[in-house]
Amino acid sequence: MPETPEVRPPGAPAAPVVTPVRVVIALCLLAPFVAMLWVGSYARTDPAFIGIPFFYWYQMAWVLISTALTATAYVLWQRDQRTRQSESKGGGAAQ
């Protein structure tokens, strides 16, 4: 049975596509929220790090981790957008 191609008006955005890269991007952006909202996992004082209770240094560590994850998500998103643009201009990627 032949498939009919999707017909969109010119300039209309394409339907969102879930790809493995986009799942990784979502996980990179979601991880800090889950880590910080799950207070029971870090609401304690031990183990202390250079005299700083766990509660505080865990949150500060997530500031650095969140920065790295957000930067990773940004780079992956830019790469994904460049790939999608080149595929749409080139008529699709040859495999």
What is this structure's pTM?
Answer: 0.73
Cα-based distances in Å from 93 to 10, 13, 29, 53, 86: 21, 19, 28, 53, 8
Q: Summarize pLDDT for 36-89 with one digit per residue, the tens.
A: 999 888 888 889 899 999 999 999 999 999 999 999 999 999 999 998 888 877
